A = this chain, B = another copy of it.
C-alpha cells in the first residue's frame, strides 16, 4: 500500500519535512518552528530576497521529473536569482502545496532534494507553509542572501560600450525539454546531458558575488527565459541596446549533437531556449581583462558574446551582417519580476 499525504496529515507532514530539511538548520528564531524567522545580516552587509515557484504541468511533469531533482531545482532557480544580484545565499522559506493523494515517498524525495541543494549551497530552511491543494503540486521558495553594503547588482547599469559576458553554454535545458515532452529522451550521452541540464541545473552561484565584491559588473541578469528575452529585459531596464556576435554565443555541446534529430538550429535554441540559469552581465571595457582573475576552482569560464549599444537589439553573423534580434523564448513558463 502506498502511503498518501492524506493519511499522513499535516502536522506529521511538517514534522517529516522539518526533520529532512532541518538537520543543518538553526533552531528558532532563525530556523523552522515559529510564526516568522529572524534574518540578521552581518554588520556592513545588505540582504537580498527573491521568490520563485515551480508548478506541476507548467514547469515540470511528474512523469519525467524525479522529485529529488525537483527539490534541487526549486532551490537552485531561487539561488540563481540571488547570485544574479551578487548575493551569497543564506536561508529560504518553503511553500509546498500538494494534493492529498500525493505519495508520501514522493514528498520525502522532494525534501531530500531540497536538503541536498541546501547543504551544497550552505543555506538553511527557516520555515514555510504547507497546504493540501486540489490542484497541481507547487513548490514555492523565498530565498535570502547577503552581500557587501551598496554592492547589489541590478539590471539597470549597462552603458554603451560595455562588454556583454555569459557564464556558460546555452540551449541544453531547452533541448532536454523537447526530448522529454516528445516522450523519447533516448539513451545517448547527449540526450542524458540535455535532460540533466533541464532537470538538475547548477547555476554559477559564485560568479555574481565575485563580480559584486569587485564592482566588476555594471549590471546582470540570470537567463531563465532565454537569452533573447532576458537580454531584452536587461537592455530595457538600462535604457540601452545591444549587438551579439552570433559565433561567440556558446551552445551546449549536447544541442549540437541533438539538433538534427530535434529539427532545430542549434544557435536558435541557444538564443530562444529558457532555463539555462547562466549569468549574463555587462563589464566596462577597460576592466574586462580582470575577468581572468576569476578563481579557477570555481569552474566558471565567462565568454564575451557582444556589446552594449545605444539602442536596438541585433545579432551580427560570421560574415559581419547584422539582423534584428527579436525577443523569443519559452513562454510556457512563468516569469519573474
User: Chain A: residues with CB nearer than 8 A to chain B?
Assistant: 9-11, 14, 17-18, 28-29, 32-41, 46-53, 55-59, 80-82, 84-85, 87, 93-95, 97, 126-136, 138, 140, 142, 144-145, 149, 152, 154-156, 220-222, 237, 331, 333-337
Contact = CB atoms under 8 A, between A and B. Distances in A.
Contacts of A128: 51, 336-337
Contact of A127 (B131, B132, B221, B337): B337
Given A135-B135, A337-B130, A237 B33 contact: yes
B95 A58 contact: no
Contacts of A29: 48, 85, 152, 154
A107 to B, nearest CB: 14
Nearest to A52: B129
B129 A331 contact: no
Given A29-B85, A35-B81, A126 B49 contact: yes
Residue among A51, A127, A136 having the largest count of chain B Cβ atoms under 10 Å? A51
Nearest to A335: B10
Contacts of A95: 51-53, 95, 140
A50 B37 contact: yes
A47 B40 contact: yes
B87 A36 contact: yes
A38 B28 contact: no
Contacts of A40: 46-47, 149
A232 to B, nearest CB: 10
Given A93-B142, A135-B133, A337-B128, A49 B58 contact: no
Contacts of A136: 133-135
A140 B56 CA distance: 16
Nearest to A221: B35
A18 B337 contact: yes
User: What 9 A-B pairs come out closest when comparing CB atoms?
Assistant: A135-B135, A131-B334, A142-B142, A36-B50, A35-B84, A39-B47, A35-B81, A36-B48, A51-B93
Contact of A132 (B36, B84, B131, B334): B334
Contacts of A156: 28, 34
8 contacts: A10-B331, A10-B335, A39-B46, A40-B47, A51-B140, A53-B129, A133-B138, A134-B136
